[in-house]
């Protein structure tokens, strides 16, 4: 159990449904009950000034009388927020940030409106937001567009309805779903791998740890039987993926070189070490804190490639920027989906320390749904074939979510070529070797990612 510093002034019951240990469902229910017209959860994220971690923790306990739980008190820093019990604060040491409960933040005036003094160990205090798989965002925009702005609470409710819709067993459009035993329409390799020049590459991702932070993974998928997989959950549900999104993205980044039968090759880093972090629930929803917990775990486990097909249409969040910088400082690279709202790049991809990925169609044109603005690179993101939960086994879906693992998989291949290709060097190599496309950098970045 995480260690905490006791406080006679703190009553954990006062934190209610915005406690650090509150589940995503509790936070969603509470947000809907208060008629929220934003994606805020009611909790807050505190980002520390560089080198001020210990001072910040001391301030929480001695100055504000708060109880602190720490990710370092969990094996491999696989922090379980629900196990924080009565802690007011949950610390992510690799990032230099912490989650603070809504009740504690309000009673101590540690909210986004707080005026921080120059000698404060805190850099920023921001609202925590809900986060979704990019597929949820795309379904929301397709179904609701901007119509949900008319009534308080409709905005968040629309996202939840989109999440529930695609979380059902047949939530995604079934065209292109390939049941076990049915031949795929393509042979050899998927169109995405072919345009990224993956099949001719002699690299396999051997020795490279690739973290995929998503809805988990189908651990019983026959294409991965016998494959070592390190995993952790940060949302109070088993790692086993009942959504499909996480299995699909992990399949593209790390799937097998030669699937059985007539199934085309759909995986890139087939010998990479897989690290699966479940930061989104089976309905595709999570929060800033669940994502930060996964980021913290991936950094602690020194994964050179950290792939994230998730986010929210919010502005730049300081904690995500700090996480990206921590990754770079430790020789790691975070790669995130730009978003599917046909709008400016969402978080965490909009952070300057995280590589943002746009989606392309089979004609190598920017996908109509792909976000724009801060874009570093592009990948195949329309009608992408990859693994899915059983018994469906495989599926064809679209999104910047699908483009991102193409970049992450190629990043693993490049990282294998040299121990010097890490962090910013790996970022620059991916851009320098990308295939130039006749579109603005705000749509495709440096161009289409290419394998070594």
Q: Active-site residues: which are they? A: 214, 245, 401
Within 10 angstroms of residue 13's Cβ, the number of other Cβ atoms is: 9
Per-residue HEC secondary structure of 48-61 comes to: ECCCCHHHHHHHHH
Q: Backbone phi, then psi, for 427, in 5-degree steps?
A: -55, -50
Do the Cβ atoms of 234 and 80 come closer than 8 Å? yes
- Looking at 215-249, which runs of residues are DSSP E strands? 229-233
Q: If we measure between CA atoms, which residue out of 302, 225, 316, 223 comes closest to residue 266?
A: 223
> What does the DSSP 8-state code read for residue 13?
G
Do the Cβ atoms of 256 and 223 come closer than 8 Å? yes
> What does the DSSP 8-state code read for residue 448?
B
Pairwise CA distance, residues 349 & 377, whole Å: 11
Pairwise CA distance, residues 18 & 338, whole Å: 28
Dihedral sign for Cα atoms in the order 172, 389, 250, 265? negative
Pairwise CA distance, residues 392 & 179, whole Å: 5
Pairwise CA distance, residues 413 & 424, whole Å: 16
Q: What's the chain's length in residues?
A: 452
Pairwise CA distance, residues 147 & 141, whole Å: 10
Dihedral sign for Cα atoms in the order 40, 370, 235, 177? positive
Pairwise CA distance, residues 245 & 242, whole Å: 9
Whether cis (ω within 30° of 0) applies to the bond prior to 348 is yes
DSSP H or E stretch at residue 379 = strand 377-380
Computed over its alpha carbons, how large is the radius of gyration of the chain? 21
Pairing of strands 285-287, 122-133: antiparallel
| Residue 213: strand pairing partners | 277, 308
């Amino acid at each position: 159990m995480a260690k905490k510093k006791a406080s006679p002034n703190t009553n954990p019951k006062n934190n209610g449904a915005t406690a650090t240990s509150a589940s995503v469902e509790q936070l969603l229910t509470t947000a809907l009950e208060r008629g929220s017209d934003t994606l805020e959860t009611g909790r807050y994220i505190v980002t520390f000034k560089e080198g001020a971690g210990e001072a910040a923790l001391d301030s929480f306990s001695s100055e504000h009388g708060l109880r602190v739980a720490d990710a370092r008190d969990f094996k491999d820093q696989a922090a379980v927020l629900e196990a924080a019990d009565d802690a007011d604060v949950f610390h992510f040491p690799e990032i230099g940030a912490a989650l603070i409960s809504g009740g504690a933040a309000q009673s101590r005036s540690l909210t986004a409106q707080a005026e921080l003094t120059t000698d404060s160990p805190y850099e920023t205090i921001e609202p925590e937001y809900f986060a979704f798989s990019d597929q949820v965002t795309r379904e929301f925009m397709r179904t609701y567009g901007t119509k949900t702005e008319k009534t308080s609470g409709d905005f968040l409710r629309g996202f939840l309805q989109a999440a529930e819709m695609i979380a059902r067993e047949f939530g995604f459009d079934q065209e292109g779903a390939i049941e076990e035993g049915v031949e795929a329409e393509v042979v050899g390799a998927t169109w995405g791998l072919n345009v990224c020049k993956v099949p001719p590459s002699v690299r396999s991702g051997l020795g490279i740890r690739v973290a995929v932070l998503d809805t988990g993974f189908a651990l019983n998928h026959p294409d991965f039987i016998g494959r070592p997989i390190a995993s952790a959950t940060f949302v109070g549900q088993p790692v086993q993926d009942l959504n499909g999104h996480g299995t699909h993205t992990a399949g593209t980044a790390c799937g097998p070189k030669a699937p059985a039968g007539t199934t085309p090759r759909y995986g890139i880093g087939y010998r990479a070490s897989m690290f699966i972090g479940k930061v989104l629930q089976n309905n595709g929803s999570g929060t800033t804190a669940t994502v930060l917990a996964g980021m913290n775990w991936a950094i602690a486990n020194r994964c050179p490639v950290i792939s994230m097909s998730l986010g929210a249409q919010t502005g730049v969040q300081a904690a995500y920027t700090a996480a990206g910088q921590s990754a770079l400082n430790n020789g790691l690279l975070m790669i995130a989906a730009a978003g599917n709202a046909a709008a400016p790049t969402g978080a965490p991809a909009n952070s300057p320390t995280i590589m943002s990925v746009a989606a392309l169609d089979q004609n190598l044109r920017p996908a109509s749904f792909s976000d724009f603005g801060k874009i570093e690179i592009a990948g195949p993101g329309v009608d992408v074939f990859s693994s899915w939960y059983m018994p469906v086994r495989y599926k064809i879906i679209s999104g910047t979510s699908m483009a991102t693992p193409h970049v992450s998989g190629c990043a693993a291949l490049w990282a294998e070529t040299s121990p010097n290709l890490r962090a910013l060097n790996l970022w620059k190599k991916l851009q320098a070797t990308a295939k130039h496309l006749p579109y603005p950098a705000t749509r495709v970045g440096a161009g289409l990612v290419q394998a070594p």
